[in-house]
Amino acid sequence: MSILSTNLYGSSVNKGMGGLMSGLDTDDLVNQMTAATRNKINKQYQAKQKLLYKQEAYREISSKLLAFNNKYFSYSSGSKTNILSPKFFESYTYKSSSNYVNVTGSADVISNFKINSITSVAKAAIYTTNSVSSQSFSSDEIIGNISEDVLLSSSITFDFNGVKKTIALSEMVDGKPDGSPYTYDAEGLADFLNTKLAEVYGAGRVNAELDASQTSITFSASGSTDVFSVSNISNDLSIITGIKSGDSNRLNISKTIGDIYGEETDCSIIINGKSIDGINKDMSISEVLKKINKESDLDITYSNTTDKFVIVSKDTGKASKIEITGALADKLFGGSIGTDIEIRGEDTVMNVTIHGQDIDITRSTANFSIDGINVE
């Protein structure tokens, strides 16, 4: 049987007849006898390949050097990149003497430019509402005595400015500080919670007090920026009192419009003349704000600390404005915004000297260009 083999020396055919009479493998003997010669040929072949690799690397370096020379040492590429040209070293940035304005541009043009005065800098229209919640929260009416088993097995976790404290109602059995017992009704629960809140947060900082009907407990904080809420409450106690996890002295934007303002709430709202459609009572306040921010030219955020909405136009300049109307605006913001008093942004207004002339410049943005001069 013939065997064809191919290598860098060419092709050869082994007919498989070597050593048939003598019993010797003549093919193997030939391979061994020529091994030294083949090794020399292999080394020369490898040397040839290394030389080819070096030539390729040299060509690449040569091309890069030529490109560098053409860019930085040739007038054919233009004087701005030619190191041999004086224009290469010209300054294109002007350092203003003011800490509030940066001016950049061509040295030839900027040498004839001067800012004489700045009357105003472009701003977005902005409006902050009054507080939008009652800054307190209350239980439902608690009529008569509360089950002793429910009370003493329950607990409430409050959150005051990020500090959580759990109050175990089992401590009611210890009685009041004066030794008298707590009653297991609205009055006794309010008295106990008020005492414990003073212990864990400090006297007078948060309060649990009976309302005028003496059947409902109202929770509040003394500071206008204090955030007070229920972080967790035992289920049975929540059912009896109506106090729920998430109740807060701030607007709970995770609750739905229907939960906060009622199932029959009209959800119409118009932002700068555009009706925001698709808002319904089952959407949370957070979802409503996201929809408004996406579909209008305003950004509206709620500050949990100040209990106020902050409304900012997406554009700057006097053309930007804030005008919000509709039934939902009345609920969220306490009324229409920008209808009685116009709320607009500001333009940048400055007086400059350019090419020897004093001129007043008005722009809707804080960053703009004048004849190739960039003002920031």
Question: What is the tens place of the pLDDT at every residue in 25-55?
Answer: 677 777 777 777 878 888 888 888 888 888 8
Res 1: pLDDT: 46
pTM value is 0.69
- The 10s digit of each residue's pLDDT in 83-119 is 666 666 555 555 555 667 787 777 677 778 888 888 9
Single out the residue of 300, 316, 296 nearest to residue 308, CA to CA: 300
Beta bridge partners of 308: 303
Q: How far is CA 123 from the centre of its chain?
A: 21
Among 276, 312, 304, 272, smallest CA distance to 291 is for: 276
Cβ neighbours of 17 (radius 10 Å): 11
Tokens of 145: 């005595």
**Ordered DSSP codes for 23-80:** ---HHHHHHHHTHHHHHHHHHHHHHHHHHHHHHHHHHHHHHHHHHHHHHHS-GGG-TT
What is the structure's pLDDT at 33?
Answer: 77
For the chain, residues with pLDDT lower than 70 are 1-25, 75-99, 107
What does 183-213 look like in DSSP terms, one character per residue?
Answer: PSSHHHHHHHHHHHHHHHH-TTTEEEEE-TT
Contact 251, 307 (CB under 8 A): yes
Q: Dihedral of CA 184/181/212/203: which sign?
A: negative
DSSP letter at 335? S
pLDDT for 87 equals 61
Q: Domains in the chain, start-ordered, CATH in brackets?
A: 23-88 (no CATH), 90-122+348-375 (no CATH), 124-131+256-344 (3.30.70), 136-241 (no CATH)
How many CA within 13 A on the CB side of residue 50?
6
**pLDDT of 10:** 54
pLDDT digits (tens, 9 = 90+) for 321-349: 999 999 999 999 999 999 999 999 999 99
Tell whether the torsion through CA atoms of 80, 86, 87 and 88 is positive or negative: positive
Sign of CA dihedral 52, 58, 59, 61: positive
